[in-house]
Amino acid sequence: MNLRRSDEAQIIVLAGFILAIGIIFFSVILHSAAFAGHQTIVQETSDVNYDFKCLKNAYGDVLRTVSNAGTQNPFVDPQLDELTDYEDQMVRLYALEGYAVIFAPHDPSEDYDSVAKTATAKITLSDGETTYIETVTFDLK
């Protein structure tokens, strides 16, 4: 087949047009994937599970502070008074967000391990629909 110059130019223009359509198509797909990822992150941060993880992390920090990095039992006086104050503050803060938080009563002899420097606590978080109850062992070191 013998192509003339005008036929070659038309093929080049057609190839450029197809390439431009392909670039636009992949750009739209990439944008959609990025937007979906962003929406997933926004949903995760507003999820009760995420808030429960934050509560557990904050409570672990409180236990480390109250126990002086595990050197003292946080579940006996005077550390227990300080721990109770922190728990009350956390309950009030989470209540402002619409959550109910319950810290189970502590047994000083069972919930604190002075050798391993760990503390165990049972935490309950509920938003009225979903309830999380977990017994967590915190490393106090």
1-33 residue pLDDT tens: 565 666 777 888 888 999 999 999 888 888 877
Same domain membership, residue 35 and residue 7: yes
Q: How many domains does the chain have?
A: 2
Same domain membership, residue 73 and residue 117: yes
Same domain membership, residue 76 and residue 9: no
- Range of the structural domain that residue 128 is part of: 48-139
Quick one: which H or E segment has residue 80? helix 79-96
Q: Are 94 and 101 in contact (CB under 8 A)?
A: yes
49-80 residue pLDDT tens: 788 888 999 999 999 999 887 788 888 888 88
32: Cβ–Cβ under 8 A, 6 or more apart, which residues?
A: none
- Measured on CA atoms in the order 13, 15, 17, 19, is the torsion positive or negative? negative
Q: Which amino acid is at 97?
A: E
pLDDT at residue number 4: 63
Same domain membership, residue 125 and residue 104: yes
Same domain membership, residue 124 and residue 67: yes
Euclidean distance between CA atoms 121 and 97, whole angstroms: 22
Q: Full-prediction pTM beyond 0.85?
A: no
Average pLDDT, the chain: 84
